[in-house]
Amino acid sequence: TQAYLQAMEAARDLNAYIVETPERALQMAEASDRRIAEGTAGPLEGIPLGIKDLFCTEGVHSQAASHILDGFEPRYESTVTSNLWRDGAVMLGKLNMDEFAMGSSNETSYYGPVKNPWRSKESNADLVPGGSSGGSASAVAAFLCAGATATDTGGSIRQPAAFTGTVGIKPTYGRCSRWGIVAFASSLDQAGPIARSVKDAAILMNSMASVDPKDTTSVDVPVPDYTEEIGLSLKGMKIGLPKEYRLDGMPEEIERKWAEGAAWLKDAGAEIVDISLPHTKYALPAYYIVAPAEASSNLARYDGVRYGLRVDGEDIAGMYENTRSAGFGAEVKRRILIGTYVLSAGYYDAYYLKAQKVRTLIKRDFEQAFEAGVDAILTPATPSAAFGLGSMATASPVEMYLNDIFTVTVNMAGLPGIAVPAGLNASGLPLGLQLIGRPFDESTLFRAGQVIE
Ligand code: GLN
């Protein structure tokens, strides 16, 4: 814990942490020492972790990297973090992220952008760590924690993992409790770990996953030991390559890495088959209707009355307006506007209802692939390697949304997806591959993912 606290201090320029909690960390570490001495150590005893600012942590700043939650210190602990502390983990602090988890570059944070510890061979320019879990990914990659919690609504665990050469898994929807995690789009949000290896991610998942009466969408499926299948041969496993993920204009390095990944899985005993997921092209537009719709509803609670920031006005409506104008950043406002529009009486059928129907078709595509005997699906994790900091100023919102093209399908279908590092490109930057699995079959993803990492 002391070594990590020192590393955090020395790497503040990355801006990975919003809040450091050194006193609490040392207290927790001392308690771990005692339990180890007594022989009552838990499975994560003394392991120092960073926590994404989206998780409520009792008595510790939890602001979803937003100005509107200024000074908010929850009186309760999220279920996922409670599980980690129960098993002995130590909290180092709260990690930076895109505001309310909306973004793909960690540039929408009220606390400023996070830097990727990786740089290209050609240029010394700062790169983004991806988003929204950019602080989690950067901190893990730079050894500023042993592992981190993260969340994924449309790729926010997997894309930052791919950009930083780390492992990130979005478990099946319902596998981890959402209780105590600030809601973005409730039907898509899932917590998961970012770690430096597949095995570390599996160990963290063992602790994070649980059924929880406080989250009625959490599912009562026994949590296996996720480390158990790691290292087994892939003999008898069928891995699908969906042709719809071969995009026009996709960089050659991505296409090549994808083929290389398939060859590694084949060498490990898997059978590689071509598959079709015909509704893939509708996933991104449907996601950018469903996610903002749910966000606009979830964010209605930030009115200046109950939490954090309040900016006074002439009357209560004026106070709401002033608080929200000052408290939400531009990307969050854009989502609220889109969401309110697609849910409005005149447009509900044309947009929201249609997007929900598309969602069912996307889900069915995956079901058909799995019914045909495919055990997991291999795709690129992102359409490019990490890009330069400052992209928010030059890229349009739609260009930014394209980052999620390979990841949102998985959230729309509620499936588990893992991003694993698959080597470096010619500029020396990490590239990631994604494996998508059957519901509640994270074990297969760890097993096949370890062959690639
Ligand atoms: N980049 C996507 C978005 O901005 C995904 C975010 C996420 O998964 N939290 O909506």
The pLDDT tens digits of the residues spanning 150-176 come to 999 999 999 999 999 999 999 999 999
Could you give phi then psi for residue 378, rounded to 5 degrees? -105, 130
- CATH superfamily ID and name for 2-208: Amidase signature (AS) domain (3.90.1300.10)
Q: What percent of the chain has pLDDT over 90?
A: 96
**pLDDT, the chain, mean:** 97
Q: How confident is the model at residue 294 (pLDDT cuts 50, 70, 90)?
A: very high
CB 107 within 8 A of CB 130: no
Q: Would you call 199 a catalytic residue per the annotation?
A: no
Q: Which of 52, 115, 170, 199 is catalytic?
A: 52
CB 117 within 8 A of CB 83: no
Task: State the closest ligand 1 atom to the C-alpha of 155, by its place in the atom list counted from 1.
Answer: 8
Q: How confident is the model at residue 91 (pLDDT cuts 50, 70, 90)?
A: very high
The pLDDT tens digits of the residues spanning 168-219 come to 999 999 999 999 999 999 999 999 999 999 999 999 999 999 999 999 999 9
Q: Is the pLDDT assigned to residue 247 strictly greater than 90?
A: no
Q: Would you call 238 a catalytic residue per the annotation?
A: no
Q: How confident is the model at residue 353 (pLDDT cuts 50, 70, 90)?
A: very high
pLDDT of 394? 85
Could you give phi then psi for residue 424, rounded to 5 degrees? -110, 155
- Separation between Cα atoms, residue 420 and residue 169, nearest integer Å: 9
pLDDT of 269? 98
Cα 29 to averaged position of ligand 1 atoms, centre (Å): 33
Q: Which of 62, 105, 132, 138 is catalytic?
A: 132
Q: Are strands 48-52 and 147-152 parallel, antiparallel or unpaired?
A: parallel
CB 283 within 8 A of CB 412: yes
The pLDDT tens digits of the residues spanning 310-337 come to 999 999 999 999 999 999 999 999 999 9
Task: State the closest ligand 1 atom to the C-alpha of 103, by its place in the atom list counted from 1.
Answer: 4
Q: Is the pLDDT assigned to residue 397 strictly greater than 90?
A: no
Cα 119 to averaged position of ligand 1 atoms, centre (Å): 24
Which conformational region is residue 110 in: left (phi greater than 0), alpha (psi within -120 to 50 degrees), or beta? alpha
CB 275 within 8 A of CB 372: yes
Q: Is the pLDDT assigned to residue 105 strictly greater than 90?
A: yes
CB atoms near residue 126 (< 10 Å): 17
For the Cβ of 104 lying below 6 angstroms from any atom of ligand 1, the answer is: yes
Cα 45 to averaged position of ligand 1 atoms, centre (Å): 32
pLDDT of 49? 99
pLDDT of 382? 96
Among 108, 156, 188, which is best to mutate for testing ligand 1, by the most ligand atoms less than 8 A from CB? 156
Cα 72 to averaged position of ligand 1 atoms, centre (Å): 23
Q: Is the pLDDT assigned to residue 36 strictly greater than 90?
A: yes
Q: Would you call 132 a catalytic residue per the annotation?
A: yes
Q: How confident is the model at residue 250 (pLDDT cuts 50, 70, 90)?
A: confident
- Separation between Cα atoms, residue 313 and residue 310, nearest integer Å: 9
Q: Which of 62, 109, 133, 156 is catalytic?
A: 156
- Separation between Cα atoms, residue 263 and residue 267, nearest integer Å: 6
For the Cβ of 102 lying below 6 angstroms from any atom of ligand 1, the answer is: yes
pLDDT of 155? 98
Cα 275 to averaged position of ligand 1 atoms, centre (Å): 26
pLDDT of 364? 98
Cα 409 to averaged position of ligand 1 atoms, centre (Å): 12
Q: Is 393 exposed, middle or buried (0-12, 13-18, 19+ CB in 10 A)?
A: exposed
Q: Is the pLDDT assigned to residue 224 strictly greater than 90?
A: yes
pLDDT of 391? 83
Cα 264 to averaged position of ligand 1 atoms, centre (Å): 30
For the Cβ of 168 lying below 6 angstroms from any atom of ligand 1, the answer is: no
Q: Is the pLDDT assigned to residue 17 strictly greater than 90?
A: yes
pLDDT of 396? 86
Cα 33 to averaged position of ligand 1 atoms, centre (Å): 38
Task: State the closest ligand 1 atom to the C-alpha of 153, by its place in the atom list counted from 1.
Answer: 8
Crossing angle of the two packed helices 79-86 and 198-208, in degrees rounded to 10: 110
- Separation between Cα atoms, residue 155 and residue 144, nearest integer Å: 22
Q: What percent of the chain has pLDDT over 70?
A: 100
pTM greater than the 0.90 cutoff: yes
Task: State the closest ligand 1 atom to the C-alpha of 131, by its place in the atom list counted from 1.
Answer: 1
Q: In what order do the strands lie in the sheet with 417-424?
A: 17-20, 90-95, 48-52, 147-152, 190-195, 167-170, 417-424, 430-437, 376-380, 238-242, 271-275
Q: How confident is the model at residue 398 (pLDDT cuts 50, 70, 90)?
A: confident
Among 96, 99, 132, which is best to mutate for testing ligand 1, by the most ligand atoms less than 8 A from CB? 132
pLDDT of 147? 99
Task: State the closest ligand 1 atom to the C-alpha of 157, by its place in the atom list counted from 1.
Answer: 8
Q: Is the pLDDT assigned to residue 29 strictly greater than 90?
A: yes
Among 298, 404, 406, 434, which is best to mutate for testing ligand 1, by the most ligand atoms less than 8 A from CB? 404
Q: Is the pLDDT assigned to residue 416 strictly greater than 90?
A: yes
pLDDT of 400? 86
For the Cβ of 342 lying below 6 angstroms from any atom of ligand 1, the answer is: no
